[in-house]
Structure 1
């Protein structure tokens, strides 16, 4: 005799973002055969496609709001947690990460959520982890969630390949991309679609317990010179790297209206990356992710540049 299906629920924050949106697509394909229900928290449900809204339970609001997460976490077995981009005028980095998460941390306990998967960063245990700006407060947020007693996995990520999409115009018009790290420093990079896939694996197979990190390192370490060479090959035009000073980096953020706390948070993170923040985890089959930078350039960057 066939056993009746046991229904359970996965809740997704940031379902219209780069990672959350990809995660939602994966789970919409996988959950119908697994007896899982899906719920999302979203500020503007209109940003979800009609076909998606028809298949998920939607809670409208901010997942930093205590009343919203109290409604949303009721009946949830697992939660995907990602803080939104920080308010440019945030008075402190802690407010943007642990401060934003405190209401959810309380609700994890109140509603007996079993498993949480969060998006975080590499760097724990490295000499620069305590002065790495946004990464430092991201690791503190992980500690806050872990302190609730929920089973927690922090996806420990390096720089996203997808961050280059912010420079698509410069790459197309000038053949230039910028960063603040040394041109020959090799470091891991990950595609956001691989981060979403790692999150989906953890949310669908909740046999794990306790707390820990799951590094998502990509398949190779690359320098800015390596990236320029690959982009040039894929795009069929010269692309070069220009290193930006931290002072110029700060000035550019300030010119876009970013407040002092966040400017220093970004600058300290970038300084720490150049000092080896992302070098502390060995790449093995369990920490590598599949998308190469060349594949990402062909499938994501090239269409964006050509558009």
Structure 2
């Protein structure tokens, strides 16, 4: 039995489908079971609730051979550190109680970074907690998600631009969420591995934001530019959307670390995933933009 958290998210949803296609028995932990696709709901065991709740985990983990662990975002949390720590402590204690042999977690690239990195620092602390649970643990260590750009579809299609804080002429490591799901599925179904390890997984190309803009424009058939935001402007944008000061600090520290090269060391040793950025633009971004235009 493989237990999957966040089964309605981009990564968790793709992972569940992959595991079912491989004939695995799957149990999911989900806050709202009605959000599960009907065809999936018929084929999985469902435990409803949040996976930072020990009582929910005590329902989900008996008999589990492996666990997929992902901490969902929560902008209302008092801090990224508190949010990740709450989930990690509950998860590690439950893994130990139920003798779960293997855990795969979604984390960030950049382990060993010594400067503050906000949300990424919180993810590294999560890894340490889960690695100490007694289970074999693999931290899938990720750079910037390509799917983050889907949140800028309006700007891309209406303004012909997307916005990040990165230098326009420095390569940005990226990853497609479907490749994260694929790597997790491989680990969860072939549990011959032991011990604890961080596994960086990066997309195969090394594009700068300017080159990413060119790739997007080519797929959409219109000019698209990259516009660099200052960190002050990014912080102001977060505040305008209701973010508290701790959330602003956590997010700006994360992007400052990204700008400073937190992913660079892992780029030398990372496993390269199959989906390059240009392919992702054609297969994911363009259909999303077309659907937005048609709605």
Q: How would you bin the TM-score normalised by the shorter chain?
A: over 0.9
1:236 aligns with 221
Runs of 4+ in 1 over 3 A off after TM superposition: none
2:254 aligns with 269
1:23 to 1, 7, 15: 15
1-structure distance, mates of 2:262, 2:179: 21
Contact persistence 1:217–1:283 (CA under 8 A): no
Contact persistence 2:3–2:66 (CA under 8 A): yes
1:107 to 76, 91, 94: 94
- TM-score, reference length from structure 2: 0.96
1:97 aligns with 84
Q: Helix, strand or coil: the match of 1:135? A: helix
1:5 aligns with none
2:160 to 169, 175, 187: 175
1:185-204 map, 5 Å:
185-204=170-189
Structure 1 position 141 matched with structure 2 position 126: yes
Q: Helix, strand or coil: the match of 1:277? A: coil
2:36 aligns with 48
TM-superposed deviation, 1:295: 0.4
Contact persistence 2:79–2:250 (CA under 8 A): no
Deviation string 1:214-273 (CA, Å, 9 cap, x unpaired) is: 111110111111101111111110000111111111111111112221211110010111
1-structure distance, mates of 2:243, 2:63: 38
1-structure distance, mates of 2:90, 2:167: 40
Contact persistence 1:134–1:269 (CA under 8 A): yes
1:60 aligns with 48
Q: Can you give the 5+ residue segments of structure 1 that lack an aligned partner in the other structure? A: 1-8
1-structure distance, mates of 2:180, 2:37: 22
2-structure distance, mates of 1:143, 1:92: 18
Deviation string 1:274-307 (CA, Å, 9 cap, x unpaired) is: 11011012446x6100101010000000011112
Aligned length: 291
Structure 1 position 289 matched with structure 2 position 273: yes
Compared CA separation, residues 121 and 144, structure 1 to 2 (3 A): same
User: Which range moves more in the overlay, 247-256 or 53-62?
Assistant: 247-256
Contact persistence 1:187–1:279 (CA under 8 A): no
Contact persistence 1:90–1:259 (CA under 8 A): no
1-structure distance, mates of 2:147, 2:78: 27
2-structure distance, mates of 1:204, 1:257: 41
1:12 aligns with 4
2-structure distance, mates of 1:94, 1:121: 14
Q: Helix, strand or coil: the match of 1:106? A: helix
User: Which range moves more in the overlay, 203-212 or 286-295?
Assistant: 286-295
Q: Compute the RMSD of aligned alpha carbons.
A: 1.1
